[in-house]
Chains A and B, each alone.
Chain A
Amino acid sequence: MNAIAVFKNRWLAFLMLLPTLVVLGLFLYYPALETLRLSLYRANFVFQTETFVGLAQFQQLLTDPAYYQSLLQTVIFCALVVFLGLAFGLSLAILANQPIHGAAVYRSLLLYPYALSPAIAGTLWLFMFNPEVGLVNNILRTLFGIAPRWLDNPILAFTLVVFAAVWKNIGYNLAFYTAALQNLPGELLEAAALDGATPWQRFRYVTLPLLSPITFFLFFVNLTYAVFDTFSLVDILTAGGPTLGKTGITTFLIYRVYQDGFQNFQTGFAAAQAILMLIMVGGITVLQFRVGRRVNYGA
Protein backbone atom coordinates (compact mmCIF):
# COMPACT_ATOMS: atom_id res chain seq x y z
CA MET A 1 0.00 0.00 0.00
CA ASN A 2 2.95 2.33 0.49
CA ALA A 3 4.04 1.80 -3.12
CA ILE A 4 1.27 4.10 -4.39
CA ALA A 5 1.39 6.59 -1.52
CA VAL A 6 2.84 9.58 -3.32
CA PHE A 7 1.40 12.77 -1.89
CA LYS A 8 3.58 14.00 0.94
CA ASN A 9 1.52 16.77 2.52
CA ARG A 10 0.99 15.29 5.99
CA TRP A 11 -1.17 18.14 7.22
CA LEU A 12 -3.55 17.78 4.33
CA ALA A 13 -3.79 14.02 4.91
CA PHE A 14 -4.47 14.63 8.56
CA LEU A 15 -7.20 17.15 7.71
CA MET A 16 -8.82 14.61 5.40
CA LEU A 17 -8.85 12.00 8.15
CA LEU A 18 -9.99 14.43 10.82
CA PRO A 19 -13.78 14.33 10.26
CA THR A 20 -13.76 10.53 10.43
CA LEU A 21 -11.53 10.44 13.50
CA VAL A 22 -13.61 13.03 15.35
CA VAL A 23 -16.91 11.28 14.65
CA LEU A 24 -15.62 7.80 15.47
CA GLY A 25 -13.81 9.04 18.55
CA LEU A 26 -16.61 11.17 19.95
CA PHE A 27 -19.58 8.97 19.08
CA LEU A 28 -18.13 5.43 19.26
CA TYR A 29 -14.91 5.24 21.28
CA TYR A 30 -15.90 7.73 23.95
CA PRO A 31 -19.40 6.22 24.52
CA ALA A 32 -17.80 2.75 24.63
CA LEU A 33 -15.45 3.85 27.43
CA GLU A 34 -18.27 5.72 29.15
CA THR A 35 -20.47 2.59 28.97
CA LEU A 36 -17.65 0.64 30.62
CA ARG A 37 -17.40 3.27 33.37
CA LEU A 38 -21.18 3.43 33.91
CA SER A 39 -21.32 -0.36 34.24
CA LEU A 40 -19.40 0.03 37.51
CA TYR A 41 -21.82 2.61 38.91
CA ARG A 42 -25.39 2.37 40.05
CA ALA A 43 -26.45 5.37 38.00
CA ASN A 44 -29.69 7.04 37.06
CA PHE A 45 -30.13 9.64 34.28
CA VAL A 46 -33.29 11.13 35.71
CA PHE A 47 -31.97 11.92 39.16
CA GLN A 48 -28.36 12.40 37.98
CA THR A 49 -27.10 10.05 40.70
CA GLU A 50 -24.02 7.81 40.58
CA THR A 51 -22.75 5.40 43.23
CA PHE A 52 -19.68 3.25 42.65
CA VAL A 53 -20.58 -0.42 43.07
CA GLY A 54 -17.68 -2.19 41.36
CA LEU A 55 -18.68 -5.41 39.64
CA ALA A 56 -21.89 -5.78 41.65
CA GLN A 57 -24.13 -5.21 38.63
CA PHE A 58 -22.35 -7.90 36.65
CA GLN A 59 -22.77 -10.25 39.58
CA GLN A 60 -26.43 -9.32 39.76
CA LEU A 61 -26.85 -10.06 36.04
CA LEU A 62 -25.00 -13.36 36.09
CA THR A 63 -27.09 -14.66 38.98
CA ASP A 64 -30.40 -13.44 37.53
CA PRO A 65 -32.53 -16.28 36.06
CA ALA A 66 -34.46 -13.72 33.96
CA TYR A 67 -31.22 -12.65 32.28
CA TYR A 68 -30.30 -16.24 31.46
CA GLN A 69 -33.78 -16.77 30.07
CA SER A 70 -33.34 -13.72 27.80
CA LEU A 71 -29.95 -15.04 26.72
CA LEU A 72 -31.38 -18.46 25.89
CA GLN A 73 -34.31 -16.90 24.00
CA THR A 74 -31.89 -14.73 22.03
CA VAL A 75 -29.75 -17.76 21.11
CA ILE A 76 -32.77 -19.79 19.96
CA PHE A 77 -34.20 -16.83 18.07
CA CYS A 78 -30.89 -16.12 16.31
CA ALA A 79 -30.33 -19.78 15.45
CA LEU A 80 -33.79 -20.03 13.89
CA VAL A 81 -33.60 -16.71 12.02
CA VAL A 82 -30.13 -17.48 10.62
CA PHE A 83 -30.82 -21.11 9.73
CA LEU A 84 -34.28 -20.56 8.21
CA GLY A 85 -33.14 -17.37 6.48
CA LEU A 86 -30.20 -19.07 4.77
CA ALA A 87 -32.17 -22.25 3.96
CA PHE A 88 -35.10 -20.38 2.38
CA GLY A 89 -32.79 -17.91 0.66
CA LEU A 90 -30.64 -20.63 -0.91
CA SER A 91 -33.59 -22.87 -1.90
CA LEU A 92 -35.40 -20.00 -3.60
CA ALA A 93 -32.20 -18.78 -5.24
CA ILE A 94 -31.57 -22.23 -6.73
CA LEU A 95 -35.14 -22.51 -7.99
CA ALA A 96 -35.14 -18.99 -9.41
CA ASN A 97 -31.84 -19.64 -11.21
CA GLN A 98 -33.10 -22.70 -13.11
CA PRO A 99 -33.02 -22.25 -16.88
CA ILE A 100 -36.75 -21.49 -17.15
CA HIS A 101 -38.75 -18.65 -18.67
CA GLY A 102 -39.33 -15.70 -16.39
CA ALA A 103 -36.62 -16.66 -13.88
CA ALA A 104 -35.50 -13.01 -13.67
CA VAL A 105 -39.10 -11.93 -12.96
CA TYR A 106 -39.38 -14.40 -10.08
CA ARG A 107 -36.05 -13.18 -8.71
CA SER A 108 -37.05 -9.52 -8.69
CA LEU A 109 -40.48 -10.27 -7.17
CA LEU A 110 -38.86 -12.29 -4.38
CA LEU A 111 -36.42 -9.46 -3.70
CA TYR A 112 -38.97 -6.90 -2.54
CA PRO A 113 -39.30 -7.64 1.18
CA TYR A 114 -35.71 -6.44 1.48
CA ALA A 115 -36.84 -2.91 0.61
CA LEU A 116 -38.96 -2.96 3.79
CA SER A 117 -37.62 -1.90 7.14
CA PRO A 118 -38.06 -4.29 10.09
CA ALA A 119 -40.41 -1.68 11.61
CA ILE A 120 -42.69 -1.84 8.56
CA ALA A 121 -42.51 -5.64 8.54
CA GLY A 122 -43.65 -5.51 12.18
CA THR A 123 -46.53 -3.16 11.30
CA LEU A 124 -47.79 -5.39 8.47
CA TRP A 125 -47.67 -8.53 10.59
CA LEU A 126 -49.29 -6.73 13.52
CA PHE A 127 -52.31 -5.98 11.35
CA MET A 128 -52.47 -9.39 9.62
CA PHE A 129 -52.35 -11.22 12.95
CA ASN A 130 -54.51 -8.80 14.95
CA PRO A 131 -56.85 -11.12 16.89
CA GLU A 132 -60.03 -9.09 16.24
CA VAL A 133 -59.68 -7.41 12.86
CA GLY A 134 -56.67 -9.16 11.29
CA LEU A 135 -57.03 -11.10 8.05
CA VAL A 136 -55.65 -14.37 9.46
CA ASN A 137 -58.20 -14.58 12.24
CA ASN A 138 -61.02 -13.38 9.97
CA ILE A 139 -60.29 -16.37 7.75
CA LEU A 140 -59.74 -18.82 10.62
CA ARG A 141 -63.00 -17.68 12.26
CA THR A 142 -64.98 -18.24 9.06
CA LEU A 143 -63.39 -21.59 8.22
CA PHE A 144 -62.80 -23.21 11.62
CA GLY A 145 -64.52 -20.96 14.15
CA ILE A 146 -61.25 -20.22 15.98
CA ALA A 147 -59.44 -16.94 16.68
CA PRO A 148 -56.03 -17.54 18.33
CA ARG A 149 -54.60 -14.71 20.45
CA TRP A 150 -51.39 -14.60 18.37
CA LEU A 151 -49.61 -11.96 20.41
CA ASP A 152 -50.77 -13.05 23.88
CA ASN A 153 -49.76 -16.70 23.61
CA PRO A 154 -45.96 -16.98 24.23
CA ILE A 155 -45.31 -19.82 21.77
CA LEU A 156 -47.41 -18.26 19.00
CA ALA A 157 -45.90 -14.81 19.56
CA PHE A 158 -42.33 -16.17 19.46
CA THR A 159 -43.06 -18.14 16.27
CA LEU A 160 -44.64 -15.08 14.69
CA VAL A 161 -41.61 -12.89 15.44
CA VAL A 162 -39.25 -15.56 14.03
CA PHE A 163 -41.17 -15.85 10.77
CA ALA A 164 -41.65 -12.09 10.37
CA ALA A 165 -37.88 -11.64 10.85
CA VAL A 166 -37.02 -14.43 8.38
CA TRP A 167 -39.54 -13.11 5.85
CA LYS A 168 -38.09 -9.61 5.96
CA ASN A 169 -34.57 -10.83 5.16
CA ILE A 170 -35.33 -13.40 2.43
CA GLY A 171 -34.71 -10.90 -0.38
CA TYR A 172 -31.25 -10.07 0.93
CA ASN A 173 -30.13 -13.70 1.18
CA LEU A 174 -31.65 -14.46 -2.19
CA ALA A 175 -29.77 -11.57 -3.84
CA PHE A 176 -26.39 -12.69 -2.53
CA TYR A 177 -26.96 -16.39 -3.28
CA THR A 178 -28.14 -15.48 -6.78
CA ALA A 179 -24.97 -13.50 -7.45
CA ALA A 180 -22.85 -16.37 -6.11
CA LEU A 181 -24.72 -19.01 -8.14
CA GLN A 182 -24.27 -17.01 -11.32
CA ASN A 183 -20.53 -16.82 -10.70
CA LEU A 184 -20.09 -20.57 -10.15
CA PRO A 185 -17.66 -22.23 -12.57
CA GLY A 186 -19.95 -24.17 -14.94
CA GLU A 187 -17.21 -26.62 -15.96
CA LEU A 188 -17.11 -28.23 -12.53
CA LEU A 189 -20.84 -28.96 -12.52
CA GLU A 190 -20.70 -30.25 -16.10
CA ALA A 191 -17.77 -32.49 -15.25
CA ALA A 192 -19.66 -33.87 -12.28
CA ALA A 193 -22.73 -34.46 -14.44
CA LEU A 194 -20.59 -36.29 -17.05
CA ASP A 195 -19.18 -38.48 -14.29
CA GLY A 196 -22.75 -39.52 -13.49
CA ALA A 197 -23.40 -37.48 -10.35
CA THR A 198 -27.11 -37.11 -9.57
CA PRO A 199 -28.55 -33.58 -9.17
CA TRP A 200 -28.53 -34.02 -5.39
CA GLN A 201 -24.89 -35.20 -5.42
CA ARG A 202 -23.92 -32.25 -7.62
CA PHE A 203 -25.61 -29.89 -5.18
CA ARG A 204 -24.21 -31.54 -2.04
CA TYR A 205 -20.61 -32.12 -3.21
CA VAL A 206 -20.02 -29.35 -5.78
CA THR A 207 -22.41 -26.40 -5.41
CA LEU A 208 -22.67 -26.27 -1.62
CA PRO A 209 -18.88 -26.33 -0.95
CA LEU A 210 -18.35 -23.70 -3.67
CA LEU A 211 -20.93 -21.50 -1.95
CA SER A 212 -19.30 -21.78 1.47
CA PRO A 213 -17.58 -18.35 1.34
CA ILE A 214 -20.89 -16.59 0.64
CA THR A 215 -22.72 -18.75 3.20
CA PHE A 216 -20.08 -17.79 5.72
CA PHE A 217 -20.52 -14.09 4.92
CA LEU A 218 -24.33 -14.33 5.06
CA PHE A 219 -24.18 -16.25 8.33
CA PHE A 220 -22.63 -13.28 10.10
CA VAL A 221 -24.75 -10.65 8.35
CA ASN A 222 -27.89 -12.55 9.34
CA LEU A 223 -26.61 -13.01 12.87
CA THR A 224 -26.06 -9.25 13.24
CA TYR A 225 -29.52 -8.69 11.81
CA ALA A 226 -31.10 -11.12 14.27
CA VAL A 227 -29.29 -9.65 17.29
CA PHE A 228 -29.68 -5.91 16.55
CA ASP A 229 -31.87 -5.00 13.58
CA THR A 230 -34.91 -6.99 14.68
CA PHE A 231 -35.30 -4.63 17.64
CA SER A 232 -37.84 -2.44 15.83
CA LEU A 233 -39.82 -5.46 14.62
CA VAL A 234 -40.06 -6.77 18.19
CA ASP A 235 -40.87 -3.34 19.60
CA ILE A 236 -43.83 -2.87 17.25
CA LEU A 237 -45.07 -6.46 17.14
CA THR A 238 -44.80 -7.65 20.76
CA ALA A 239 -42.95 -4.94 22.76
CA GLY A 240 -40.94 -7.76 24.38
CA GLY A 241 -43.96 -9.71 25.61
CA PRO A 242 -45.88 -11.87 26.36
CA THR A 243 -44.47 -13.10 29.66
CA LEU A 244 -43.39 -16.70 30.04
CA GLY A 245 -41.53 -17.78 33.17
CA LYS A 246 -39.26 -15.00 34.39
CA THR A 247 -39.54 -12.50 31.51
CA GLY A 248 -41.18 -11.68 28.18
CA ILE A 249 -40.63 -14.40 25.59
CA THR A 250 -39.46 -11.86 23.00
CA THR A 251 -37.43 -9.78 25.46
CA PHE A 252 -34.13 -10.47 23.72
CA LEU A 253 -30.82 -9.10 25.02
CA ILE A 254 -30.95 -5.80 23.11
CA TYR A 255 -34.56 -5.24 24.15
CA ARG A 256 -33.51 -5.77 27.76
CA VAL A 257 -30.86 -3.05 27.44
CA TYR A 258 -33.55 -0.68 26.15
CA GLN A 259 -36.08 -1.60 28.85
CA ASP A 260 -33.66 -1.33 31.75
CA GLY A 261 -31.96 1.77 30.39
CA PHE A 262 -34.90 3.81 29.16
CA GLN A 263 -38.05 2.43 30.76
CA ASN A 264 -36.76 1.38 34.20
CA PHE A 265 -34.05 4.09 34.19
CA GLN A 266 -31.38 1.76 35.61
CA THR A 267 -28.63 3.39 33.59
CA GLY A 268 -25.67 1.55 35.13
CA PHE A 269 -27.43 -1.79 35.00
CA ALA A 270 -28.21 -1.31 31.29
CA ALA A 271 -24.58 -0.29 30.70
CA ALA A 272 -23.40 -3.54 32.34
CA GLN A 273 -25.66 -5.50 29.97
CA ALA A 274 -24.27 -3.57 27.01
CA ILE A 275 -20.72 -4.45 28.12
CA LEU A 276 -21.60 -8.15 28.32
CA MET A 277 -23.05 -7.94 24.80
CA LEU A 278 -19.95 -6.11 23.54
CA ILE A 279 -17.85 -8.98 24.90
CA MET A 280 -20.07 -11.46 23.05
CA VAL A 281 -19.79 -9.39 19.83
CA GLY A 282 -16.00 -9.37 20.27
CA GLY A 283 -15.96 -13.15 20.73
CA ILE A 284 -18.04 -13.69 17.61
CA THR A 285 -15.82 -11.34 15.59
CA VAL A 286 -12.67 -13.22 16.65
CA LEU A 287 -14.39 -16.47 15.70
CA GLN A 288 -15.33 -14.95 12.36
CA PHE A 289 -11.69 -14.09 11.60
CA ARG A 290 -10.37 -17.48 12.77
CA VAL A 291 -12.86 -19.54 10.79
CA GLY A 292 -12.83 -17.02 7.94
CA ARG A 293 -9.23 -17.78 7.14
CA ARG A 294 -9.97 -21.47 6.87
CA VAL A 295 -13.10 -20.99 4.75
CA ASN A 296 -11.36 -18.80 2.22
CA TYR A 297 -8.36 -21.05 1.80
CA GLY A 298 -10.38 -24.25 2.03
CA ALA A 299 -12.92 -23.42 -0.65
Chain B
Amino acid sequence: MARRVLRIALVHLILILAVLLVGFPLIFALIKATQTGSAVNSANLIPSTHLWDNLLSAWNGAKLGLYIRNSFVVAVGITVLKVVTSALAAMALVYFRIPAKGLLFTLILLTLMLPSDLLVVALFDLVNKLGWANTYQAIILPFAASATGIFLLRQHFMNVPPSLLDAARIDGAGPFRFLFAVLIPLSWNTIGALTLIQFIYGWEQYLWPLIIIRDSSHQVIQVGLKSLIGQASGQTDWGMVMAGTLVAILPPIVMFTLLGRQFSRGFILSESK
Protein backbone atom coordinates (compact mmCIF):
# COMPACT_ATOMS: atom_id res chain seq x y z
CA MET B 1 0.00 0.00 0.00
CA ALA B 2 2.71 2.46 0.99
CA ARG B 3 4.60 1.53 -2.14
CA ARG B 4 1.54 2.29 -4.24
CA VAL B 5 1.09 5.71 -2.66
CA LEU B 6 4.76 6.45 -3.21
CA ARG B 7 4.51 5.39 -6.83
CA ILE B 8 1.50 7.64 -7.46
CA ALA B 9 3.24 10.55 -5.73
CA LEU B 10 6.24 10.00 -7.97
CA VAL B 11 4.05 10.03 -11.12
CA HIS B 12 2.47 13.30 -9.96
CA LEU B 13 5.88 14.80 -9.25
CA ILE B 14 7.26 13.90 -12.69
CA LEU B 15 4.12 15.17 -14.42
CA ILE B 16 4.15 18.47 -12.51
CA LEU B 17 7.81 18.93 -13.45
CA ALA B 18 7.00 18.09 -17.08
CA VAL B 19 4.08 20.54 -17.16
CA LEU B 20 6.26 23.30 -15.69
CA LEU B 21 9.07 22.58 -18.12
CA VAL B 22 6.84 22.23 -21.18
CA GLY B 23 4.57 25.10 -20.19
CA PHE B 24 7.31 27.41 -19.00
CA PRO B 25 8.06 29.29 -22.23
CA LEU B 26 4.36 30.17 -22.47
CA ILE B 27 4.03 31.26 -18.84
CA PHE B 28 7.22 33.25 -19.33
CA ALA B 29 5.77 35.00 -22.40
CA LEU B 30 2.59 35.77 -20.46
CA ILE B 31 4.51 37.35 -17.57
CA LYS B 32 6.93 39.31 -19.74
CA ALA B 33 4.02 40.69 -21.78
CA THR B 34 2.83 42.48 -18.63
CA GLN B 35 6.16 44.11 -17.83
CA THR B 36 7.88 47.18 -19.16
CA GLY B 37 11.27 48.89 -19.14
CA SER B 38 14.17 47.22 -17.34
CA ALA B 39 11.96 44.58 -15.67
CA VAL B 40 11.43 42.85 -19.05
CA ASN B 41 15.15 42.46 -19.58
CA SER B 42 15.82 41.12 -16.09
CA ALA B 43 15.15 37.78 -14.40
CA ASN B 44 12.12 39.36 -12.68
CA LEU B 45 9.14 36.99 -13.04
CA ILE B 46 6.56 38.99 -11.12
CA PRO B 47 3.62 39.98 -13.35
CA SER B 48 3.12 43.70 -13.71
CA THR B 49 0.34 45.88 -15.11
CA HIS B 50 1.56 46.94 -18.55
CA LEU B 51 -0.12 44.24 -20.66
CA TRP B 52 -2.51 46.73 -22.26
CA ASP B 53 0.26 49.25 -23.06
CA ASN B 54 2.35 46.50 -24.65
CA LEU B 55 -0.61 45.24 -26.65
CA LEU B 56 -1.41 48.75 -27.89
CA SER B 57 2.16 49.51 -28.87
CA ALA B 58 2.38 46.18 -30.74
CA TRP B 59 -1.05 46.56 -32.33
CA ASN B 60 -0.61 50.11 -33.58
CA GLY B 61 3.09 50.94 -33.42
CA ALA B 62 4.44 47.65 -34.79
CA LYS B 63 1.55 46.89 -37.18
CA LEU B 64 0.45 43.78 -35.26
CA GLY B 65 -3.18 44.60 -36.03
CA LEU B 66 -2.46 44.67 -39.74
CA TYR B 67 -0.53 41.37 -39.69
CA ILE B 68 -3.25 39.63 -37.69
CA ARG B 69 -5.94 40.85 -40.07
CA ASN B 70 -3.93 39.61 -43.06
CA SER B 71 -3.37 36.23 -41.41
CA PHE B 72 -7.11 35.92 -40.80
CA VAL B 73 -7.94 36.67 -44.42
CA VAL B 74 -5.36 34.13 -45.59
CA ALA B 75 -6.12 31.34 -43.09
CA VAL B 76 -9.91 31.62 -43.50
CA GLY B 77 -9.59 31.88 -47.28
CA ILE B 78 -7.40 28.78 -47.51
CA THR B 79 -9.62 26.81 -45.13
CA VAL B 80 -12.91 27.60 -46.84
CA LEU B 81 -11.53 26.98 -50.33
CA LYS B 82 -9.88 23.71 -49.32
CA VAL B 83 -12.97 22.32 -47.61
CA VAL B 84 -15.25 23.27 -50.52
CA THR B 85 -12.97 21.99 -53.30
CA SER B 86 -12.25 18.79 -51.32
CA ALA B 87 -15.91 18.06 -50.64
CA LEU B 88 -16.84 18.56 -54.31
CA ALA B 89 -13.95 16.44 -55.57
CA ALA B 90 -14.52 13.66 -53.03
CA MET B 91 -18.19 13.52 -53.94
CA ALA B 92 -17.39 13.32 -57.65
CA LEU B 93 -14.93 10.49 -56.96
CA VAL B 94 -17.30 8.44 -54.82
CA TYR B 95 -20.79 9.00 -56.21
CA PHE B 96 -20.29 9.56 -59.94
CA ARG B 97 -19.53 7.20 -62.76
CA ILE B 98 -16.62 8.84 -64.54
CA PRO B 99 -13.89 7.51 -66.79
CA ALA B 100 -10.29 7.17 -65.53
CA LYS B 101 -11.40 7.69 -61.95
CA GLY B 102 -8.52 5.66 -60.52
CA LEU B 103 -6.00 7.65 -62.52
CA LEU B 104 -7.49 10.97 -61.38
CA PHE B 105 -7.39 9.92 -57.74
CA THR B 106 -3.78 8.75 -58.13
CA LEU B 107 -2.82 12.09 -59.70
CA ILE B 108 -4.42 13.89 -56.77
CA LEU B 109 -2.69 11.70 -54.17
CA LEU B 110 0.69 12.00 -55.90
CA THR B 111 0.74 15.71 -55.05
CA LEU B 112 1.42 14.63 -51.46
CA MET B 113 4.93 13.88 -52.73
CA LEU B 114 5.32 17.46 -54.01
CA PRO B 115 5.74 19.62 -50.89
CA SER B 116 5.07 23.22 -51.92
CA ASP B 117 8.08 24.33 -49.83
CA LEU B 118 10.28 22.70 -52.47
CA LEU B 119 8.49 24.36 -55.37
CA VAL B 120 8.86 27.95 -54.16
CA VAL B 121 11.55 28.79 -56.72
CA ALA B 122 9.32 28.01 -59.70
CA LEU B 123 6.19 29.20 -57.90
CA PHE B 124 7.83 32.58 -57.34
CA ASP B 125 8.43 32.90 -61.07
CA LEU B 126 4.86 31.83 -61.92
CA VAL B 127 3.13 34.08 -59.40
CA ASN B 128 5.22 37.06 -60.47
CA LYS B 129 4.30 36.42 -64.10
CA LEU B 130 0.63 36.33 -63.08
CA GLY B 131 1.22 39.76 -61.53
CA TRP B 132 0.21 38.55 -58.06
CA ALA B 133 3.26 39.60 -56.05
CA ASN B 134 2.20 41.35 -52.82
CA THR B 135 -1.43 40.25 -53.05
CA TYR B 136 -3.68 38.03 -50.96
CA GLN B 137 -4.36 35.66 -53.85
CA ALA B 138 -0.63 34.90 -54.04
CA ILE B 139 -0.75 33.32 -50.58
CA ILE B 140 -4.28 31.85 -50.83
CA LEU B 141 -4.93 30.40 -54.28
CA PRO B 142 -1.87 28.10 -54.57
CA PHE B 143 -3.25 26.31 -51.48
CA ALA B 144 -6.93 26.17 -52.50
CA ALA B 145 -7.00 22.40 -53.03
CA SER B 146 -5.96 19.58 -50.74
CA ALA B 147 -5.11 15.94 -51.42
CA THR B 148 -5.39 15.26 -47.69
CA GLY B 149 -8.87 16.78 -47.59
CA ILE B 150 -10.05 14.77 -50.60
CA PHE B 151 -8.57 11.60 -49.13
CA LEU B 152 -10.23 12.05 -45.73
CA LEU B 153 -13.63 13.03 -47.14
CA ARG B 154 -13.56 10.28 -49.77
CA GLN B 155 -12.81 7.75 -47.03
CA HIS B 156 -15.67 9.12 -44.99
CA PHE B 157 -18.17 9.21 -47.89
CA MET B 158 -17.40 5.59 -48.73
CA ASN B 159 -18.45 4.58 -45.22
CA VAL B 160 -21.83 6.30 -45.49
CA PRO B 161 -24.48 3.52 -45.62
CA PRO B 162 -25.60 3.00 -49.27
CA SER B 163 -29.21 2.67 -48.03
CA LEU B 164 -29.22 6.43 -47.36
CA LEU B 165 -28.30 7.07 -50.95
CA ASP B 166 -31.04 4.72 -52.15
CA ALA B 167 -33.56 6.49 -49.94
CA ALA B 168 -32.48 9.89 -51.26
CA ARG B 169 -32.70 8.61 -54.84
CA ILE B 170 -36.18 7.24 -54.32
CA ASP B 171 -37.20 10.64 -52.93
CA GLY B 172 -35.89 12.09 -56.20
CA ALA B 173 -32.93 13.98 -54.70
CA GLY B 174 -30.26 15.13 -57.15
CA PRO B 175 -26.54 15.18 -56.39
CA PHE B 176 -26.51 18.58 -54.67
CA ARG B 177 -29.61 17.90 -52.60
CA PHE B 178 -27.93 14.66 -51.49
CA LEU B 179 -24.69 16.52 -50.71
CA PHE B 180 -26.34 19.20 -48.57
CA ALA B 181 -29.17 17.21 -46.99
CA VAL B 182 -27.39 13.91 -46.32
CA LEU B 183 -23.62 13.90 -46.79
CA ILE B 184 -22.63 17.17 -45.11
CA PRO B 185 -24.78 16.67 -41.98
CA LEU B 186 -23.19 13.21 -41.62
CA SER B 187 -19.67 14.55 -42.08
CA TRP B 188 -19.38 17.26 -39.43
CA ASN B 189 -16.61 15.45 -37.56
CA THR B 190 -14.48 15.02 -40.66
CA ILE B 191 -15.21 18.56 -41.87
CA GLY B 192 -14.44 19.92 -38.40
CA ALA B 193 -11.14 18.04 -38.26
CA LEU B 194 -10.26 19.24 -41.75
CA THR B 195 -11.18 22.84 -40.90
CA LEU B 196 -8.92 22.73 -37.84
CA ILE B 197 -5.93 21.24 -39.69
CA GLN B 198 -6.24 23.63 -42.62
CA PHE B 199 -6.82 26.74 -40.53
CA ILE B 200 -3.68 26.02 -38.53
CA TYR B 201 -1.79 25.22 -41.72
CA GLY B 202 -2.88 28.56 -43.20
CA TRP B 203 -2.19 30.48 -40.00
CA GLU B 204 1.33 29.04 -39.70
CA GLN B 205 2.46 29.67 -43.29
CA TYR B 206 5.90 31.21 -43.29
CA LEU B 207 8.33 30.41 -46.11
CA TRP B 208 6.03 31.33 -49.02
CA PRO B 209 4.77 34.69 -47.61
CA LEU B 210 8.37 35.52 -46.62
CA ILE B 211 9.36 35.18 -50.28
CA ILE B 212 6.40 36.53 -52.22
CA ILE B 213 5.14 39.34 -49.93
CA ARG B 214 7.55 42.23 -49.90
CA ASP B 215 5.38 45.00 -48.47
CA SER B 216 4.00 44.91 -44.96
CA SER B 217 0.44 45.81 -45.96
CA HIS B 218 -0.19 42.18 -47.03
CA GLN B 219 2.28 40.40 -44.76
CA VAL B 220 1.10 37.67 -42.36
CA ILE B 221 1.76 37.57 -38.64
CA GLN B 222 4.29 34.70 -38.65
CA VAL B 223 6.66 36.68 -40.86
CA GLY B 224 5.58 39.93 -39.21
CA LEU B 225 7.00 38.63 -35.91
CA LYS B 226 10.42 39.15 -37.43
CA SER B 227 9.77 42.83 -37.96
CA LEU B 228 8.35 43.12 -34.42
CA ILE B 229 11.65 41.71 -33.12
CA GLY B 230 13.70 43.86 -35.49
CA GLN B 231 11.93 47.12 -34.58
CA ALA B 232 14.11 50.07 -33.58
CA SER B 233 17.24 48.42 -34.98
CA GLY B 234 18.75 46.17 -32.36
CA GLN B 235 16.98 47.58 -29.32
CA THR B 236 14.11 45.08 -29.21
CA ASP B 237 11.12 45.93 -26.99
CA TRP B 238 10.64 42.36 -25.76
CA GLY B 239 7.60 43.16 -23.63
CA MET B 240 5.85 44.35 -26.79
CA VAL B 241 7.07 41.29 -28.77
CA MET B 242 5.78 38.89 -26.10
CA ALA B 243 2.39 40.66 -26.13
CA GLY B 244 2.40 40.22 -29.92
CA THR B 245 3.15 36.48 -29.71
CA LEU B 246 0.28 36.01 -27.24
CA VAL B 247 -2.14 37.56 -29.73
CA ALA B 248 -0.72 35.38 -32.51
CA ILE B 249 -1.24 32.22 -30.42
CA LEU B 250 -4.89 33.00 -29.62
CA PRO B 251 -6.67 32.10 -32.91
CA PRO B 252 -5.22 28.54 -33.09
CA ILE B 253 -6.05 28.00 -29.42
CA VAL B 254 -9.63 29.17 -29.97
CA MET B 255 -9.90 26.83 -32.97
CA PHE B 256 -8.56 23.95 -30.87
CA THR B 257 -11.06 24.61 -28.15
CA LEU B 258 -13.93 24.82 -30.63
CA LEU B 259 -12.99 21.88 -32.85
CA GLY B 260 -10.74 19.69 -30.68
CA ARG B 261 -13.48 17.13 -30.11
CA GLN B 262 -14.21 16.83 -33.83
CA PHE B 263 -10.49 16.55 -34.42
CA SER B 264 -10.07 13.53 -32.17
CA ARG B 265 -13.28 11.90 -33.46
CA GLY B 266 -12.84 12.61 -37.12
CA PHE B 267 -9.10 12.37 -37.48
CA ILE B 268 -7.25 10.56 -34.71
CA LEU B 269 -9.71 7.66 -34.70
CA SER B 270 -9.61 7.26 -38.46
CA GLU B 271 -5.80 7.46 -38.44
CA SER B 272 -5.30 4.76 -35.85
CA LYS B 273 -7.67 2.38 -37.60
Contact pattern, A 228-255, Cβ under 8 Å of B = 1, otherwise 0: 1101100110000000000000000010
Q: Is the CB of A278 within 8 A of B118?
A: yes
B95 at the interface (CB under 8 A from A): yes
How many angstroms from the CA of A170 to the CA of B23 in the assembled complex? 11
B181 at the interface (CB under 8 A from A): no
Contact pattern, B 104-148, Cβ under 8 Å of A = 1, otherwise 0: 100110011111111111111110100000000000011111010
In the bound complex, residues from chain A placing their C-beta under 8 Å from that of B238 are: 127, 130, 133
In the complex, identify which listed stretch (A58-66, A72-80, A90-98) lies at the interface while the others stay far away: A90-98
Residues of chain A from 1 to 60 with CB closer than 8 A to chain B in the complex: 1-10, 12-14, 16-17, 19-21, 23-24, 26-32, 34-35, 38, 45
In the bound complex, residues from chain B placing their C-beta under 8 Å from that of A21 are: 104
A197 at the interface (CB under 8 A from B): no
In the bound complex, residues from chain A placing their C-beta under 8 Å from that of B122 are: 30-32, 34-35, 38, 271
Secondary structure type dominating chain B contacts = helix
CB-contact partner of A100 in B12, B32, B125, B248, under 8 A: B12
Contact pattern, B 194-212, Cβ under 8 Å of A = 1, otherwise 0: 0000000001101100110
How many angstroms from the CA of A3 to the CA of B162 in the assembled complex? 9
CB-contact partner of A117 in B85, B203, B229, B269, under 8 A: B203
Q: Is the CB of A8 within 8 A of B141?
A: no
In the complex, identify which listed stretch (B48-56, B58-66, B86-94, B185-193) lies at the interface while the others stay far away: B86-94
Q: Is the CB of B121 within 8 A of A176?
A: no
A201 at the interface (CB under 8 A from B): no
In the bound complex, residues from chain B placing their C-beta under 8 Å from that of A132 are: 41
- A-B contact sample (13 more), CB < 8 A, given A27-B141, A110-B22: A4-B158, A9-B175, A20-B85, A20-B145, A138-B42, A179-B264, A179-B268, A183-B272, A254-B207, A258-B211, A261-B124, A267-B121, A271-B122
The residues of A with any CB-CB pair to B shorter than 8 Å are: 1-10, 12-14, 16-17, 19-21, 23-24, 26-32, 34-35, 38, 45, 92, 95-96, 98, 100, 102, 106, 109-110, 112-113, 115-121, 123-128, 130, 132-133, 135, 138-139, 142, 167, 170-171, 175-176, 179-180, 183, 213-214, 217, 224, 228-229, 231-232, 235-236, 254, 257-258, 261-262, 267, 270-271, 274, 277-278, 281-282, 285
